[in-house]
Chains A and B, each alone.
Chain A
Amino acid sequence: MGKYLLIETRDPFDSSDVQRSYDLAGGLADEKNDVTVFLVQNGVLPTRKASAAADAVTQLCSKATVLADDFSLRERGIQKGELVKGVKPTSIDDLVDLVADDGRKVIWH
C-alpha cells in the first residue's frame, strides 16, 4: 500500500483539471492506497455545501481523507458549519507533517 498526498490549490470552476485531481485521488484510494487530499487557496471553495461542486467533494470524502487549510477558509469567510460532511479544517502544521511523512508521495496542483 502506498501513501499519497495531493495538494489541491484550485477551484473546479477555475480549472477543469481539478476533477482529474479528484479522480486521481479516488483511483489511488480504490487501489487500497492511503490517500489524503489537502485543499488550500481557492481549492477550499468547493468545500461549501452551497457550491455546485460540493457533490464532487462529498464523493472524494467517501474515498480519501480530505483536509482544508484553516487559513484559506478564514480568508474566504467560510465557516465550519458550511462545510461538506467529511471535510476537516486543519492547519499548515499538519501539512508539514504529511509532507515529512516517510514514504508519502506528494503532488501539488
Chain B
Amino acid sequence: MTKTLTIALMDPPYETETTTTAFRLIDAALRKGHKVNVFAYEGAVNLTMADQAPHPNPVKGTSAEEEDHPTTKDWVAAMFQAYPGKLDWVNCGLCVDERGAGNVIEGAQRGAPKQFAEWSEASDATLVIPAK
C-alpha cells in the first residue's frame, strides 16, 4: 500500500554517515512506491546546493573524474529523476539565507517550518533525523 512519509533532515553534507543512511532510506521508500516529503533544516539545506563540485585528490595525484566522488546534490537530483512526482524537497528559507545556499538544483524548493507541520499532519508517518 502506497503511503506518504515525511522526513526532516538537519545534517549538512559530507559531515556524518547519517546523510548516507537518510538517502538510502528515502531511495528505498520511493522504490517501494511511497511518496516522500523531505524538509531540509539547518545545515541540510546545503545538500541540494547546485554549486557543489567533485574535487581531485592531490595526495594520490588523481583527478576529480578518477576519484568519482558523488556529491549530495547529484544524489538528490538522481532521486528526482528516478521517481518523478514522488519526491518533494523543501529547504528552510531562513536556513538557506543564513548559509547563502539559494542556488539549488531543479526540484528543490524554498519553504518554512510551517510546511513541515502541514506535511506531518497529512502524512502516514513522520521521521525526524536530528543532528548529533
Residue ranges of A at the interface with B (Cβ–Cβ < 8 Å): 9, 40-42, 69, 71, 91-93, 95-97, 99-102, 104, 106, 108
Chain A neighbourhood of B94, CB < 8 A = none
The 3 A-B pairs with the shortest beta carbon distances in the complex, nearest first, are A92-B28, A96-B29, A100-B3
Within 8 A of A (CB), among B31-59: 31-32, 34
In the complex, chain A residues whose CB is within 8 Å of the CB of B24: 71, 92
Mind listing 20 A-B residue pairs with CB under 8 Å?
Answer: A9-B17, A9-B18, A42-B17, A92-B24, A92-B28, A93-B31, A93-B32, A95-B25, A95-B28, A96-B25, A96-B28, A96-B29, A97-B32, A99-B5, A99-B29, A100-B3, A100-B5, A102-B124, A106-B125, A108-B129
Q: From B4, which residue of chain A is reached at the shortest CB distance?
A: A100
Cβ–Cβ < 8 Å partners of B125 in chain A: 99-101, 104, 106
A93 contacts which chain B residues (CB < 8 A)? 28, 31-32
Number of B residues with CB within 8 Å of any CB on chain A: 19
Nearest CB on A from B31, distance (A):
8
A41 and B17 form a contact (CB under 8 A): yes
| Binary flags per residue of B111-132, CB closer than 8 Å to A gives 1, else 0 | 0000000000000111111100
Which B-chain residue is minimally distant from A106 (CB atoms)? B127
| Complex Cα–Cα for A108 and B24 (A) | 15
- CB-CB < 8 A to A41: which residues of B? 17-18, 21
Set of chain B residues within 8 Å of A95, measured between Cβ atoms: 25, 28
State in angstroms the CA–CA spacing of A106 and B8 once bound together.
13
- Cα A92 to Cα B27 in complex, Å, equals 10
